[in-house]
């Protein structure tokens, strides 16, 4: 072992599907200013209102997907950690979650105690968003400042268009697509439109027109979540050799009344069924690990909705999870020069 560690960070999960644990988790998640970008008093009021009913509803959803070994997201992330370690010979591979247990602080302290001096931080999100990548980077910086840990930090940049990521996506998905389908829906996690506008360094490009994402200059593309999602989708279907009419893109998991980026997945499920699609495949390339948004939102509720609208079969293509090609690709992505200093995402 050397002193160069890899720290994988995923979103996190409640400790159990019990209402109290779900409420605690949702409170931490939703009070993150990068998730709900309102001043603290308004955010506290809004989250308190959400927590009146949402924990019980979410607890039922979590219970429907819970595994004997616990949260699927955490269990699969642990498997990925082990698989990546086989390819990462520079030092230890640690795992942390932004919310809930397995905190970033605990992981960094363990690494420092083991004598590690250099850490590559890998937020497990292919596309950039403040509510995913930035909050992981900022929490890591906060911990380093507060703890006085002298660790050299590098950050894996969003890898939405990297050849290693796209090839792993193709290898993991190909067996499912080879079984035949009428249509492939690439469903990415949604984001409020205001988040795109806030992240736009030009202050005027994002959402300025119907084709703005495809015309995004490099500095805008580097921070535009929607444009990066479209690049991931286009790169994947190009490598799979799919024709234009065989696939489409949508965005899921809306919360609240604000306008989110579209088209919306739930509307597309109805539209595709009405159009005559009988066998629908759904991939969720914004997630590298299956979780409540894939297993329950798409695999259960989405399937029921599609069938109710006239479709016959909705098959959820698994996320990358701990696929061997993905474990190898992630280790390669985390090696220089595929990383940047922590200041890149400031």
Tokens of 277: 């699609």
- The answer to whether the beta carbons of residues 91 and 3 sit under 8 Å apart is yes
Which DSSP symbol is given to 197?
Answer: H
Q: At what angle do helices 19-30 and 40-65 cross, to 10 degrees?
A: 140
Cβ atoms within 10 Å, residue 145: 9
Angle CA 341–123–235, to nearest 5: 95
Tokens of 122: 């890998």
Note the helical H segments in the chain: 19-30, 40-65, 72-85, 104-113, 135-147, 163-177, 193-199, 218-221, 225-240, 265-274, 292, 303-308, 324-333
89 marked as binding residue? no
Residue 275 makes CB contacts below 8 A (sequence gap 6+) with none
> Using CA atoms, how far apart are residues 88 and 108, in angstroms rounded to an integer?
18
> Using CA atoms, how far apart are residues 45 and 58, in angstroms rounded to an integer?
19
Euclidean distance between the first and the last CA atom of the chain, given in angstroms as a whole number: 31
189 marked as binding residue? yes
> Using CA atoms, how far apart are residues 133 and 122, in angstroms rounded to an integer?
9
Which residue ranges make up the annotated binding site? 189, 293
Which residue ranges make up the annotated binding site for Fe(2+)? 189, 293
């Amino acid at each position: 072992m050397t002193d160069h560690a890899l720290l994988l960070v995923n979103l996190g999960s409640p400790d159990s599907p019990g209402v109290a644990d779900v409420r605690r988790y949702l409170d931490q998640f939703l009070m993150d200013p990068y998730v709900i970008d309102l001043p603290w008093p308004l955010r506290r009021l809004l989250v308190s209102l959400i927590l009146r009913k949402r924990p019980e509803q979410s607890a039922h959803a979590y219970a429907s997907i819970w595994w004997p070994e616990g949260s699927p997201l955490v269990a699969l992330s642990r498997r990925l950690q082990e698989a990546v370690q086989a390819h990462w010979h520079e030092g230890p591979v640690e795992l942390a979650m932004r919310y809930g247990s397995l905190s970033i602080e605990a992981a960094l302290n363990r690494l420092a105690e083991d004598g590690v001096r250099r850490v590559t931080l890998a937020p497990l999100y292919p596309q950039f968003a403040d509510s995913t990548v930035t909050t992981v980077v900022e929490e890591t910086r906060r911990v380093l400042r507060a703890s006085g840990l002298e660790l050299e930090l590098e950050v894996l940049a969003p890898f939405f268009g990297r050849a290693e990521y796209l090839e792993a996506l193709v290898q993991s998905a190909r067996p499912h697509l080879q079984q035949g389908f009428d249509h492939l829906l690439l469903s990415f996690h949604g984001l409020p439109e205001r988040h795109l506008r806030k992240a736009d360094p030009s202050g005027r490009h994002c959402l300025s027109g119907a084709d703005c994402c495809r015309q995004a200059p490099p500095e805008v593309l580097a921070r535009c979540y929607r444009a990066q999602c479209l690049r991931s989708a286009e790169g994947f279907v190009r490598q799979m050799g799919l024709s234009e009419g065989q696939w489409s893109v949508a965005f899921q998991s809306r919360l609240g009344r604000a306008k989110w980026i579209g088209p919306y997945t739930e509307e597309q499920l109805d539209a595709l069924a009405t159009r005559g699609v009988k066998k629908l495949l759904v991939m969720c390339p914004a997630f590298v690990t299956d979780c409540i948004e894939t297993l329950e939102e798409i695999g259960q509720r989405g399937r029921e909705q599609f069938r109710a609208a006239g479709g016959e079969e909705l098959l959820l293509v698994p996320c990358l999870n701990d696929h061997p090609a993905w474990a190898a690709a992630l280790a390669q992505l985390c090696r220089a020069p595929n990383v940047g200093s922590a200041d890149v995402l400031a």
